[in-house]
Every structure is written in structure tokens, then in C-alpha cells.
Amino acid sequence: MDYDYKVKTAAERAKVEDLFEYEGCKVGRGTYGHVYKAKSKASPDSKEYALKQIEGTGISMSACREIALLRELKHPNVISLQKVFLSHTDRKVWLLFEFAEHDLWHIIKFHRSAKANKKPVHIPRNMVKSLIFQILDGIHYLHANWVLHRDLKPANILVMGEGPERGRVKIADMGFARLFNSPLKPLADLDPVVVTFWYRAPELLLGARHYSKAIDIWAIGCIFAELLTSEPIFHCRQEDIKTSNPYHHDQLDRIFNVMGFPQEKDWEDIRKMPEHQTLMKDFKRSTYGNCNLMKYMEKHKVKSESKAFSLLQKLLTMDPTKRMTSELAMKDQYFLEDPVPSQDVFEGLPIPYPKREFISDDDNEDKSDNKNNANTNHSDQPPQKRVRVMPPVTTSSSNMVSGEFQVRKHVHNMQSGSQQQGMNFSSSNASQGSASSGYSRF
Ligand code: 0SQ
């Protein structure tokens, strides 16, 4: 490339540190990278942003995917990517998002703590309805565009704080499930890490080979039940990942304890699931003879004749082919009955939830009690250590949009632990090329 052009573009390129104040304002740390709460230096009183510094260096495959996907999406209930910065000095990629002060993991934790302190405050019923409606709306948009989320859970459901979008849901993905899937590193080499399977659909636990829209719907059902009861419906001891085997006995046992063992007539194709034989060997239908969703919810004070229960049952249907779609769910009686869902999930009332705390740069611990420790962790937060997980593939055609950056070279950079199967920055023109490979989300 022309040297003068290179010098000129380097001088003109907007630098994240010149435009934003974010030092000491880290609000998240995970396998995906670091997230900071940021303010514009030019107008510090204006809105707040979230700046995500992607783990590793260079435009990795996952960075490429995330950017390419997010720049195509526009919906009020899906996180919106505002800008991408490439820091050429340290080869870091930064993504700028709107800042969401809350998320369902923290909101549910607030209510659980109140319950533990014997001062239970339930999540207001109107708020639950508005939250679920907006989650369905965002997921319906993604599904209509053949984007499957694949990792819906409370931590990925953000809620906007004070400001013009007060109380609006933003579906995000902190990316844990798909970041660390290095095909070359044996699982045994990794530090023990726990993951949660609480939101996993039964077909995934029985070895389904493909992700589907129905898998996202099951997760929404789990979140709905958790909002209604402040308890994770399919809570289960979290396991160290030692294998890439999708079959998780304890998680299935927990699902059957709540739902009952699936009847052949209710889920005919269960026989065709890859792990069906293991299931038959490990479980006895009679163990779960007394279990059903109605009993479980009644125990948690949700009436079986309520519209909320009726919708929940349709979302938590064991047979994925019979599970409700997001489109149908949004038209359900539950949302037509008063009070109808509102755009501000807090309904104009004061927000009781604390603001995000800053975490220190040198360790991974939240200053609050957000410890992501192995089996003692009652959270669904992504663990902080890296792990390789092997989710099933997503079927559907690849439809890569043109990217802003020219990508040049594959790098298999495994030693830093960042496991980039990625691409280097082109040190040349960062705004003219196109990226066009390996895009599998559509
Ligand atoms: O929230 C993000 N920071 N990223 C994000 C959001 C989403 C959807 C909600 C649109 C599904 N996907 N991603 C995403 C995260 C990581 C990667 C590698 C790709 C996409």
C-alpha cells in the first residue's frame, strides 16, 4: 500500500481512547473480552455506552461473525452495534453498544436475595409480562431473519436504565458458548470449568444434532418460569465440562422431576434421538409418575388456570415440533388480558435495582458477591475461565454480508489462550475490503 496513504489514514482514524472515557469503568469480564461503561469525551453529559474490547488480537473469526451479524440487525429489542474501532497499536477490536444498566441475571438475583433475607418481593406480574413480551418480540425478529440465539439465559437479557429507552429489553449474547471451540485442544487439557445447562432444551440434552428456533423458545419458557417464581425452574448442580457429550443425566433428571417423564404419544420422535437408548437405560418412567408442570407451578403460587401458566406450558413443551413459536406466543391471550405489556418494563415506577458495579482491572472478581465458583455457584453467569464447548451445528445457509475490514490471513493462535482461529488486520485499508467466509449463523 502507498506509504503516504497509510500515514494519512492512520492520522485520520478515530481512536477509541481519544473519543471515550472508560478508564476504571470495567463492568464485565468474561471469555468474550472486557466490557466498559463509557462516556463521550466531547459531550460527557450525553448518553452512556458499553465498550466491548474483544478478547485476543486481530479480527478473529468470532469478531468477524459478531460484527457482520450485528451490523445487519435492527430491532428495538436486540442490542445494537453503534461503531467498531480498530486499535492499530495493540491490534485490539472494540465494539461500541448502547449501555444497559440492568440485566435479568442481576434483577433475579436481587429478588432471590430479598427472599433469602426473609423479605420477599416478587417481580411485579406486569413487569414479567412486559419482559417476556419484549423477549419474544426480539426473538421473533431474529428468527424471522434466520438468526438463532442458541444461548438464551438471564445474563443475556439486558434492560435499559433511566433515559429515553427506560425499561426496554435488549437481547444480547456475551458469546461464551461459542467462543472457545478450538478443535485442536483436548478437553482434558483445560482447567475445570462449570457451565449451566438449566436453559437447555431436552432435545439438546438427548443429542440433537442441530440448533433450532424451538431451542430458543424452550429457554424463553425457562426464563418465564424463573421470573414468575424467582427460582431457576430446572436448577441443577453445575458440572465441570469433561466431555463434549451432550447427554447430561442430572439435568434431564431435573427436567423430568418438574415436567414428568415424556410420554411416547406426546413426543413420538423421542425414539429417534441419538441418546434415546442411554435415556431408556438410565431412567424409569415410574420415578416421575407424580411430577408435572402444573404441580410445580402451583407449589410456587402460580395458578394452573392463569393465562401465564397456559402460555408457559406451551413454551415448555417437551416435543420441539409441538413447541409454540415466538409469533404465536406474542398473540397469546396472556398478552391481551389486562394489564397489557408496556414498553417500560418498570412501568414508570422507581427502579429498585442497583446500578452495575465497576470491577477492578487486575482480577476477575466483581466487588459484589458475583463469584463464579464451581459447584457452589448458584448463578448462570458465564464462568470466567476458558473452556471448549461443542454445541451442535446450526443448519442453514451461510449468508455473509460484506464486512468493513479487509481480512488477509488465517492465524491459528492457540498459545495465548485466546484461541483465535482468526484473521489478522489488514494493515492496509481498513474500510474498503470485504469479509466473506465461515459465517454460519444464518
Ligand atoms: O451482544 C453481543 N455483544 N453480541 C451478540 C448479540 C447477538 C444476538 C443477540 C444478535 C444473537 N449475537 N452476538 C454475538 C456474540 C458473539 C459472536 C461471536 C457472534 C454474535
**pTM summary value:** 0.83
* pLDDT given for residue 207 in this prediction: 97
Q: For 311-345, what is each residue's pLDDT tens digit?
A: 999 999 999 999 999 999 999 999 999 999 999 99
* pLDDT given for residue 365 in this prediction: 42
The alpha carbon of 155 and the centre of ligand 1 are apart by a number of angstroms equal to 13
Residue 389's pLDDT band, with cuts at 50, 70 and 90, is very low
Q: Which residues pair with 422 in a beta bridge?
A: 411
Q: What does the mean pLDDT of the chain come to?
A: 82
Within 8 A by CB and 6+ apart from 296, the residues are 233, 258
The alpha carbon of 66 and the centre of ligand 1 are apart by a number of angstroms equal to 5
Please state, in angstroms and rounded to a whole number, the distance separating the CA atoms of residues 290 and 286: 8
- Sequential DSSP letters for 371-429: ---TTT----SPPSS-----PPB--S---PPPPSS-EEEEEEE-TTS--EEEEEEPSS-
CATH 3.30.300.30 fits 102-357, yes or no: no
pLDDT at 413 over 80: no
By annotation, the residues acting in catalysis are 151
- Cα 340–Cα 343–Cα 347 angle in degrees, nearest 5: 75
Classified as helix, coil or strand, 98 is strand
pLDDT at 364 over 80: no
Ligand 1 in reach of 62 Cβ (< 6 A): yes
Give percent of the chain with pLDDT exceeding 90. 69
Q: Whose CA is nearest to atom 11 of ligand 1?
A: 149
Q: For 144-175, what is each residue's pLDDT tens digit?
A: 999 999 999 999 999 999 999 999 999 999 76
